[in-house]
Structure formats: structure tokens, C-alpha cells
Amino acid sequence: MIAALSTGGDFAEIFMEDTRGTTLRMLNGSLEEGVSGRDYGVGIRIFQGYRSVYAYTNDASKENLLKVALEAAAALEGTPGLTDIVLNRLVVETFNPIRLEPSSVLHTDKVAVMKRAHGAATGYDQAITQVAITYLDTDQNVLIANSDGLLVEDRRVRTRLGINAVASKGNEKQSAFRGPGAHMGFELFDHIDVEAVARDAARSAVTMVNADYAPSGKYPVIIDNAFGGVIFHEACGHGLEATSVAKGASVFSGKLGQQVASPLVTAVDDGTIPNAWGSQNVDDEGTKTRRNVLIENGILKGYMIDKLNARRMAMEPTGSSRRQSYKYAPTSRMTNTFICAGDSTKEEIIGNTEYALYARHMGGGSVNPATGEFNFAVSEGYIVRNGKIEKPVRGGTLIGQGSQILQKIDMVASNLATGQGMCGSLSGSIPTDVGQPTIRVSEITVGGRKGDN
């Protein structure tokens, strides 16, 4: 770090990572691929005011690290900063205990879980023609030190099962994906009902292959709980990351304290939920994660902020800085993000709706933070008519502007649940939880294939 600061940098940080991982893939019950490996490397970051320099390498020898630090420092100009750094170890009590370490579990036990998932999905219906199962575990050990004197280590063990079921009817195929995961070891499978999740994927695929196309147009949409929270993640969450806020590039820049959403909306990003998929004891800058209230009763309360953007914004970091690996400089990202429970029930919402698209399961989406324009796919949809679910529909895409959609949330149920996803952005692909209760949005543009309702 002293070498890194030799050309005028005012802050240096080392991120060392040693990660072991296993990925297993099964297609139609037959294990086709097994890959295991080790990622190992070091990232060095230097700040000078708002400037930041990042360098990384796989070679952690002292000579090479000094060489890389000087190479990074060469991008800056100035006089040497610190000549001595005293590191104080921050001891972090884990709130993400691991019971069954992936490395202690036999490959054959991992395969057995995959076979259970395969069997349940395949057995659901004859229309299921293909089932692909992916099992993955990672054990990431990081050491983070910086020139402020921080030294902290953290361990993140994550396990996930991916189930992709394909249903066929004549020449048509529809697929459905479910991917439960957690910041846990193999005990994940004591917490989830593998067969039930697999059957749900199969049910969704079969329902969709028999569905008609969603009607196009602008009309109310009911978005179910759990993975439905991807709407908040895309429509709003990315716009609350300091990455875009700090430079005034977000529609939410400069709006703290203002009404940005319907008063029914309270939204939180919480990296401290024990064993949740997006949880970490500390973020990837070594700051303890915390519960950040983003929106409270519709009022914008806070952003997700990393160290570099904290400088630009003159605000404190919020424990939100994350990265895929040492190959990425960290930046503000989401952890477990959700809309909090409201007072209605899902039944009331559906019962009180004359006509709507009911998005029971969402696919992924994306957003342009500068304009707030988002889009996402409805992977399992239904038409609600006169307070009743009428029929399944497929192929719907929701588009709109995040800030407008937030204002149009007119009912929020109490059934908060979360779903797991991988979020891709500047600092790579990271595990994040999305979540919400069932909500109703009074109007969204639905892209489908049919002209009328």
C-alpha cells in the first residue's frame, strides 16, 4: 500500500481472494459436466481525490505485488503520501454460519440432490420433455486491507440449485427456471423442498406452453411476491446506487426527502439477513453490511454508497460496495433488496381488480439508470378479469419508467418473500436477493403479441 501511495494517492486498498468452486450440470437425468476449481488473485486500488486506479494480478508474490502497485501508482502524479500504515484487525462475528461446508460433502450427495430435482420435474407431466439441473457452490475467502488501517477477513459460502424445465406441445417449447440459493453450505437442502421447487418449474413451463399470447397495451398489472421484486430491483434499485447517483446520472439524484413513490411503498436493501443469498458480513471494501432504508412511505431516504462515490457525494459509505471477484474494482451494488409488506392480501388484490395482467413469475430485466427506462419479462402470466384469474398468457414484457411505476403502485399485500438472482453491472455478476409482497400497479405498458384485451 505504501508503494501504491508513492505517487500522490491518498487511499490504497488490497483485496485478496481465494475461492473454491464446483459446478455440476445434469441434462435429462444424466450428469454431463463437472468442473471444480480455484480462483486466486489480488486487486490493488488507489484513490486520489475522485480519481481511482485499479490493478489486479494472479501472482501474489511480494515482488510482483510491489511491481503491480507501482504500475498502478504510475497512473497518478504527486508526492508520496503515507510512509507507514498500522493495520488494525477488524474481527467480524459471522451472522452467516455454515453448517455443511461444500468441500466436506461428497460429489455423489450433490448429484443425488440433482437427481431428486430431475425426477420431480420430469414426473410432473408428460409435456415436460427436458430438464436441466445445475448445482453450484462457491467458497470465497477474502482479505481486505486499506491505508486507513483496516484489516478484515471474510468468508462467503454460497450454494445454489438451478432447475430449467422445458415443456413441449407440437413444435412449441416453453421453459421455466427456478434457482433457489443461499449464503449457506449444503444445509441449503434441509431448508428448501427440492421436489416442490422442481415441480413448480415444471408446472410453470406446462402452463405456459398451453397459454395464449399476452395482449398488448397499457393496463393494470399485478406482480406476485418473491422474484416479482425484480421490478423494484430494476425500476428503482439500480437508480439508487451511488454509481449513477453520485454523478447526477440517475433520475433519483438530488431527490432525498422527496416523494418518489406511492406512500404505500417502503423499500429496503439489507445485507445483514442471516444466510440470505445477497448477504455478507462485510462488503467488498471491508465495511460492515447494514440495513439501508431506501424509501419510506414513498419518501426517498437513502442511497447505496461505496467509498469512492461517498467522496463525491460527501456522504458515508453504506456497506454496499461489491464485486464479482478480485478482477473487478468494487462499486455500490444491491444485496437483498425488497419492498416491505403492506396491509392487503393477495386475494383482496385480485378480487378488487376488474382487468389486469397477473405476473405470477418474472424473468429478468434491465434498466437505463439515466432515463429510468426499464423492461422486464413476465415468464408466467395470467389475465385477471372481474376479480378472478381467467387464463394463462405468455410472452409479456413490461416497460416503463421506474419513477412513474413507483408512483402507480396502488395496492401492497403482506406476503413478503424473496427470490434469488444474479445481477450484472459494472463490478461484475453478483448474487442478489430481490423481494416484495404481491403488488398492483395501476398501469404499465405490456408488450405482447395480441392487439386487444
277 and 183 Cβ atoms separated by less than 8 Å: yes
Of 256, 299, 377, 389, the one binding other proteins (CB under 8 A) is 377
Q: Does 443 bind other proteins (CB under 8 A)?
A: no
For residue 55, count CB atoms less than 10 angstroms from its CB and return exposed for 0-12, middle for 13-18, buried for 19 or more. buried
Stretch that binds other proteins, among 7-15, 80-88, 256-264, 442-450 (CB under 8 A): 442-450
Near other proteins by CB under 8 A: residue from 5, 127, 329, 356: 329
**H or E element at residue 143:** strand 128-146
Q: Does 36 bind other proteins (CB under 8 A)?
A: yes
Question: Mask: binding to other proteins, 292-321, rule CB under 8 A, as x and -?
Answer: ------------------------------
SS3 236: helix
> Which of 125, 195, 348, 373 forms a contact with other proteins (CB under 8 A)?
373
Residue 417: name the closest of 243, 273, 203, 261 by CA: 273
- Measure the CA–CA gap between 102 and 137, rounded to whole angstroms: 7
Question: What is the nearest approach in angstroms of other proteins to the Cβ of residue 234?
Answer: 10
Binding-site member from 15, 56, 124, 382 for other proteins (CB under 8 A): 56
- Among 6, 52, 280, 425, contact with other proteins (rule: CB under 8 A): 52
Using CB under 8 A, which of 179, 395, 402, 435 touches other proteins?
395
Which residues lie across from 286 on neighbouring strands? none
Cα atoms in the Cβ-side hemisphere of radius 13 Å centred on 146: 16
Among 151, 299, 370, 389, binds other proteins (CB under 8 A): 370
Should residue 365 be labelled a site residue for other proteins when binding is judged by CB under 8 A? Answer: yes
Q: Which listed residue (288, 290, 301, 327) binds other proteins by CB under 8 A?
A: 327
CB 441 within 8 A of CB 405: yes
- Using DSSP, how many helices (H) and how many strands (E) does the chain show? 9, 24
- Minimum Å gap between C-beta 56 and other proteins is 5
**Which range in 264-272, 281-289, 337-345, 395-403 contacts other proteins by CB under 8 A?**
395-403
Laid out side by side, the sheet with 267-270 consists of 299-300, 291-296, 267-270, 336-339, 428-436, 417-425
What's the distance, Cα to Cα, between the start and end of the chain in Å? 63
41 binds other proteins (CB under 8 A): yes
Which residues have a Cβ under 8 Å from the Cβ of 126 and sit 6 or more positions away? none
Size of the site for other proteins (CB under 8 A): 78
Q: Please, which of residues 237-276 interact with other proteins by CB under 8 A?
A: 244, 247-249, 251
The smaller minimum CB distance to other proteins, of residues 77 and 84, is found at 77
Site for other proteins, residues 105 to 164, rule: CB under 8 A:
107-108, 111, 129-130
Dihedral pair phi/psi, residue 412, rounded to 5°: -135, 125
